C-alpha cells in the first residue's frame, strides 16, 4: 500500500491553517467535480482524492494521526524501506467499518457519484476505517446539526438519484418530417411506438418519458430521447419552415408568359409565369412550405426559382424567326 500525501493533493504546506485548507478544497472540488468534467474519466478519481484529503486534514484528530504517520513514513523511506515492508498495522483503527461524513457538504455528491460503497482509498481505510452500511432511522440529517457523531465521523443516508437519460438517433425523410411519422423501438422486450411530430428538423429531440435508466434509492427513472436527422431531398432545400426549389421554364414561356407546374410537399401546383420573366427570378408560394413544429397549423412558404431553358436544336424556320426578331430589336 502506498502512502498518500494529502498536503500535496490539496496543494498546501504541512503548516497550513484550516482556512487555507478549506479554500484549497473548495477551489479544487469545483474544478474537478465529475459533473463539470463529464468527458474526463480522471476527474472522478481526482475528486475522490480531494475529498479524502480534506476529510483528514480538516479534522484535528485525524490530521494529528496522519502527521505522526507521515514522520514515520519519511524516516522509513530515508532508510531505504519499501512500501510493502512498512508496518501499517500499528496505524489501523482496529474499530472495524465506520461511516465517514465529508465536512464540506459533499456526502450526497459522493453517494450520487460512487454509490453506496466507500469512495475512500485503502490507505484511508487502514488508518481511519471504512464506510459501513445504511444509517439507522433518524440518524441521517444533512449537516452537523442533525447528525449523530460516531467514531470516524457522521452517518448519512443515500440520496435518491435520478436515472440516466438515453438518446437514440433516427433518420426520417423530408416527407415524414412534413406529415409526421412514427418509429417502433424495442426496449426490455416491450414494443414502444414513438410519434415524431410534423415539422421536425435535424436535431429535434423527441422525449419518451420514463424509458431511460432506472434511478437509485427510489430516484426517478430517466427519459429516452430520439434525436431526429432529416435526410436531404433532391427536390427541395429547407430553410427553417420555408422550402426552396428550382423550376425549369422554356424560353418562349419566359418571354411570352404562361403556366408551369411546381412541385410541393403535397402535390404539384400551377404557377402563372408573367411575360418577360427573367432567369433566376423567384416566386413565393405562400403556405406551401413545412409545418411549424410548435404550431402544425402554420406553414412556411415555398420559393420557386425560375431556370430558363434555352433551345439547343432549332429548326430552320425557328432560326429564321429568331433572326428576324433580333433584327427588329
Do 194 and 289 lie in a common domain? no
Do 206 and 271 lie in a common domain? no
CA angle 288, 293, 295 (to 5 degrees): 80
For residue 140, pLDDT over 60 is answered with: no
Q: What is the number of structural domains in the chain? A: 3
Specify whether the CB–CB gap between 291 and 299 falls below 8 A: yes
Q: What is the pTM of this model?
A: 0.54
What CATH number is associated with residue 223? 2.60.260.20
pLDDT confidence band for 78 (50 / 70 / 90):
low
Q: Give me the mean pLDDT over the 240-265 stretch.
A: 96
Do 11 and 150 lie in a common domain? yes
Structural domain ending residue among the three candidates 134, 154, 174? 154
Please write the tens of the pLDDT for every residue from 290-299.
999 999 999 9
Q: Is residue 160 part of a domain?
A: no
Q: Is residue 271 part of a domain?
A: yes
Do 201 and 139 lie in a common domain? no
User: Strand 242-250 vs strand 302-309: parallel, antiparallel, or unpaired?
Assistant: parallel
Do 221 and 274 lie in a common domain? no
If one counts every other C-beta atom within 10 angstroms of the C-beta of residue 190, the result is: 8
Q: Is 323 helix (H, G, I), strand (E, B) or coil?
A: helix
Q: Is 185 exposed, middle or buried (0-12, 13-18, 19+ CB in 10 A)?
A: middle
Structural domain ending residue among the three candidates 109, 127, 154? 154
148-184: b (≥16 Cβ within 10 Å) or e:
eebebbbbbbbbebbbeeeeeebebebebbbeebebe
Q: Is residue 45 part of a domain?
A: yes
Do 188 and 278 lie in a common domain? no
Specify whether the CB–CB gap between 1 and 83 falls below 8 A: yes
Do 313 and 192 lie in a common domain? no
Length of the chain: 329
Q: Is residue 121 part of a domain?
A: yes
Q: Is residue 148 part of a domain?
A: yes
pLDDT confidence band for 136 (50 / 70 / 90):
very low
Please give the Cα distance from 156 to 145 (Å, whole number): 12
Please give the Cα distance from 329 to 326 (Å, whole number): 5
Q: Give me the mean pLDDT over the 258-268 stretch.
A: 96
Residue given cell 483528514 in the structure block: 56
Q: Is residue 1 part of a domain?
A: no
Structural domain ending residue among the three candidates 206, 230, 254? 230
- Percentage of residues in the chain with pLDDT exceeding 90? 50
Do 148 and 49 lie in a common domain? yes
Q: Is residue 161 part of a domain?
A: no
Please give the grid coordinates belonging to residue 49.
482524492
List CB contacts of 30: < 8 A, sequence separation 6 or more: 36
Q: Is residue 25 part of a domain?
A: yes
Do 55 and 129 lie in a common domain? yes
Do 13 and 138 lie in a common domain? yes
| Range of the structural domain that residue 136 is part of | 6-154
Do 49 and 134 lie in a common domain? yes
What CATH number is associated with residue 10? 1.10.287.110
Do 254 and 221 lie in a common domain? no
Q: Residue 91 carries which DSSP code?
A: G
CA 45, chain centre distance (Å):
21
* Most confident region among 125-134, 138-147, 148-157 by mean pLDDT: 125-134
Q: Is 42 exposed, middle or buried (0-12, 13-18, 19+ CB in 10 A)?
A: exposed
Amino acid at each position: 500500500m502506498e502512502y498518500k500525501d494529502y498536503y500535496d493533493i490539496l496543494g498546501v504546506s504541512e503548516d497550513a491553517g484550516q482556512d487555507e485548507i478549506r479554500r484549497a478544497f473548495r477551489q479544487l472540488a469545483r474544478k474537478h467535480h465529475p459533473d463539470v468534467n463529464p468527458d474526463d474519466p480522471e476527474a472522478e478519481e481526482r475528486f475522490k482524492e480531494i475529498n479524502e484529503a480534506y476529510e483528514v486534514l480538516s479534522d484535528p484528530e485525524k490530521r494529528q494521526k496522519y502527521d505522526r504517520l507521515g514522520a514515520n513514513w519519511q524516516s522509513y523511506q530515508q532508510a531505504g524501506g519499501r512500501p510493502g515492508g512498512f508496518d501499517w498495522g500499528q496505524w489501523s483503527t482496529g474499530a472495524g467499518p465506520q461511516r465517514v461524513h465529508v465536512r464540506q457538504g459533499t456526502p450526497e455528491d459522493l453517494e450520487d457519484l460512487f454509490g453506496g460503497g466507500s469512495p475512500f482509498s485503502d490507505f484511508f481505510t487502514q488508518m481511519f476505517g471504512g464506510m459501513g452500511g445504511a444509517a439507522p432511522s433518524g440518524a441521517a440529517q444533512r449537516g452537523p446539526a442533525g447528525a449523530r457523531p460516531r467514531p470516524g465521523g457522521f452517518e448519512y443516508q443515500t440520496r435518491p438519484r435520478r436515472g440516466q437519460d438515453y438518446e437514440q438517433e433516427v433518420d426520417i425523410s423530408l416527407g415524414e418530417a412534413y406529415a409526421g411519422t412514427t418509429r417502433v423501438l424495442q426496449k426490455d422486450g416491450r414494443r414502444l411506438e414513438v410519434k415524431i411530430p410534423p415539422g421536425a428538423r435535424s436535431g429535434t429531440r423527441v422525449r419518451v418519458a420514463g424509458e431511460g435508466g432506472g434511478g437509485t434509492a427510489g430516484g426517478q427513472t430517466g427519459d429516452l430521447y430520439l434525436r431526429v436527422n432529416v435526410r436531404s431531398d433532391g427536390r427541395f432545400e429547407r430553410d427553417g419552415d420555408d422550402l426552396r426549389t428550382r423550376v425549369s421554364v422554356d424560353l418562349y414561356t419566359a418571354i411570352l408568359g404562361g403556366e408551369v407546374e411546381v412541385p410541393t410537399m403535397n402535390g404539384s401546383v400551377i404557377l402563372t409565369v408573367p411575360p418577360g420573366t427573367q432567369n433566376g427570378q423567384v416566386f413565393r408560394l405562400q403556405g406551401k412550405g413545412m409545418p411549424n413544429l410548435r404550431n402544425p397549423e402554420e406553414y412556411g412558404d415555398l420559393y420557386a426559382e425560375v431556370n430558363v431553358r434555352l433551345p439547343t436544336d432549332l429548326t430552320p424556320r425557328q432560326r429564321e424567326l429568331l433572326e428576324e426578331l433580333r433584327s427588329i430589336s
